[in-house]
Structure 1
C-alpha cells in the first residue's frame, strides 16, 4: 500500500541537499556524513548532499571517509565557511578546499557581524563540545570597499566553478560581494535562509536574483517537528514572489536534537504540495536548481 510519504518521496527522487550539517563538528551532530548520505540514498534516492561545518573545511572529512562512501550512489561534497576558525578571509584555505574537490565557499556565517548581532551570546545555536573562540570577520576595508582577500577568494571560486554563498552576512554586504563576483564572471551564487539571521526582504532578494543568485530556503524552518516551526504558507509566498526558477530547498539539518533531513523534506514538501505547489516546480527547487549550482549537469 502506497503511503503519503511514499508519494512525496517519489517526487523527490534525485534531489540534492546543499546544506547538510552532519558531523564531525564541535556542535553535537545526529550522524556523520556517511550515515547522512546513506539515509538520503535509501529513503529518497538523493543524487547528492553537501556537508557543511561552520568550523572547518569539510572536504577533508569527505576524503577521509572515501572508503565508506565509495559504494554509495548518493554523492557527498564538502566546502569551506570563512569564519575565524579557518582564518577568516583566507585565500590559502580556500585554494586547498576547492582544488581538493570542494564545491562551496560560504562567506562568514558565525563570524559575520549580522550573525553576532542576532546571536551575540550563542543563543539559538548548540553549545560547542569543546571551548572555542570566534572573532568577527568583515569583508569591507576601512573605506567601505572589499578587502583584497575577497578578490583572491573570488578568483579561486571562478577558477574551480564552485558555488558562492553569502553566508550569514548583512544583505548590503552580500550584494556588494555578488556584484564583484558577477564582474569576475561567477554565475553560481546563493543566499541562504534570507528571512533567518540575514534579514533580507523579498525585494532585496529579487535584486540578488537579478545579479544571478538563487534564494535558498531551509526545510528545517518549516518542519512542524523542528525547533522553529514557521508556517509553510510563508514559504509558498516566497516561492511565488521569487519563482521556482531561482529558488532552492535545502535541509540545514543534522543537529543532534533536530529531525533528520529526509524526514523534514518529506513533511515540508508534502505540505507544499498540499498548498498547491506543482510537482514539477518542487522538483526544480529540490533537484534541478541545486544540481546546476553544483555543476553536476
Structure 2
C-alpha cells in the first residue's frame, strides 16, 4: 500500500454528491459507500441541494450492510424543503442526520452567481424544476431571523454540524458568530473562493471563531477550477488544523470521489504537505465535525 492509500484509511468525506438526486449522478449513495469502503474511508456524508438525504440512507440500509464505511445524511435549507424550516431540521436530526447546510442554491450569493450564467441556471434547475426562491437568514430589520437561533440550538443539542452552505460573506459571518456565541463548535465554511466569495482574511477570522474551512477536491482535480497552488496558499493561510477537504463529487461527467482523492492527496504530498497535516484535513477534522471522535 502506497503513502496516499495509507492516508485514505480512516478518511471522512463530508461532501459527497451521490444519488438519488434530481441532478444527474454518476453513482448512488450505496455505490459511493462501497467505493469508499474499499479505499478504507471511515465515513461519508451524502448531500443533495433539493431534499433531505437521511431517508435516502435509511432506505439503502440493506445495500450498506457489511461495509466498513458509515454513511450519513443531512438537510440543505433551500426553498425545496421550506427554507429555514425547523420542523424539517427536527425530523432530519431525529432520524439520524449529521449535517445542516444553510441555504445553498437558495442563497443570495448563489442566485446572483447563477444569474450571470445561463448554463449555471439550467444546471440547478434539473428536469425543468422551478427556480429556487431566495432564502435569507436576515429579517426585514436586518437582524438574524429567529429561526436561525432555533436551528443552531437544534444542531447543538443533536451534536450536528452546521455548514454555511452558499451564504455570502455577510451572512456567513453572522451565522458563524451566532453559532459560536451559542457555544456550538461544529461549523464549516465551504469553498470560500467559489460562489460565496469570502475573502481570505475574513475566512481566517471565522476560523478563529471555530469554523473549519472546507475546500473541495473536485475543484483541484486536474486543476479543473483552480490550480493546486491556490489550495496550498489557503492551507498555509488558515492552517491544516482549521481545514477540511471534501470531494464535492458524484456528478455525471466528473471523476469518482475516491479517484479524485487519490490524485489530489498525491499532489499535496508531492508539494510538501506532511502526512500529519493531510491526516488532519481528511481524517481528524471532518471526523470531529460529525461527532465520530
Tell me the distance in 2 between the aligned counterparts of 1:223 and 1:153.
Answer: 34
1:48 aligns with 2:46: no
Tell me the distance in 2 between the aligned counterparts of 1:283 and 1:261.
Answer: 17
**Residue pair 2:105, 2:124 contacting (<8 A) in 1 also:** no
| Superposition deviation, residue 179 in structure 1 | 1.1
3-state SS of paired residue (2:127): coil
Structure 1 segment 218-237 matched on structure 2, within 5 A: 218-224=216-222, 228-237=224-233
| Superposition deviation, residue 70 in structure 1 | 2.2
Which range is displaced more, 154-163 or 123-132? 123-132
3-state SS of paired residue (2:193): helix
Tell me the distance in 2 between the aligned counterparts of 1:122 and 1:112.
Answer: 17
**TM-score calculated relative to the size of structure 1:** 0.95
Structure 1 residue aligned with 2:85: 90
Question: 1:20-42, CA deviations, whole angstroms, 9 ceiling, x for partnerless residues?
Answer: 00000000000110000001111
Structure 2 residue aligned with 1:285: 281
3-state SS of paired residue (2:136): coil
* Unaligned residue ranges in structure 2 (runs of 5+): none
Tell me the distance in 2 between the aligned counterparts of 1:123 and 1:99.
Answer: 37
Could you tell me which of 197, 200, 214 is aligned with 2:198?
200
The 1:122/1:191 distance shift into structure 2, 3 A limit, reads farther
Structure 2 residue aligned with 1:178: 176
Structure 1 segment 21-36 matched on structure 2, within 5 A: 21-36=17-32
Structure 2 residue aligned with 1:101: 96
Tell me the distance in 2 between the aligned counterparts of 1:152 and 1:136.
Answer: 20
| Superposition deviation, residue 149 in structure 1 | 1.2
Task: Provide the alpha-carbon RMSD of the alignment.
Answer: 1.3
1:272 aligns with 2:255: no
Question: 1:234-278, CA deviations, whole angstroms, 9 ceiling, x for partnerless residues?
Answer: 101100110000000110000011110111111111111111100
3-state SS of paired residue (2:15): strand
| Superposition deviation, residue 84 in structure 1 | 0.2
Which range is displaced more, 119-128 or 87-96? 119-128
Structure 1 segment 133-282 matched on structure 2, within 5 A: 133-224=131-222, 228-282=224-278
**Residue pair 1:28, 1:129 contacting (<8 A) in 2 also:** no
Tell me the distance in 2 between the aligned counterparts of 1:106 and 1:27.
Answer: 18
**Residue pair 1:28, 1:126 contacting (<8 A) in 2 also:** no
The 1:257/1:126 distance shift into structure 2, 3 A limit, reads farther
The ranges of structure 1 where at least 4 consecutive aligned residues each deviate by more than 4 angstroms after the TM superposition are none
Tell me the distance in 1 between the aligned counterparts of 2:266 and 2:227.
Answer: 13
1:14 aligns with 2:10: yes
Tell me the distance in 2 between the aligned counterparts of 1:186 and 1:126.
Answer: 31
3-state SS of paired residue (2:198): coil
* Unaligned residue ranges in structure 1 (runs of 5+): none
Structure 2 residue aligned with 1:60: 55
Tell me the distance in 1 between the aligned counterparts of 2:142 and 2:6.
Answer: 49
| Superposition deviation, residue 69 in structure 1 | 1.0
1:123 aligns with 2:139: no
| Superposition deviation, residue 130 in structure 1 | 4.7
Task: Count residues with an aligned counterpart.
Answer: 290
3-state SS of paired residue (1:196): coil
Tell me the distance in 1 between the aligned counterparts of 2:110 and 2:131.
Answer: 15
Tell me the distance in 2 between the aligned counterparts of 1:123 and 1:47.
Answer: 36
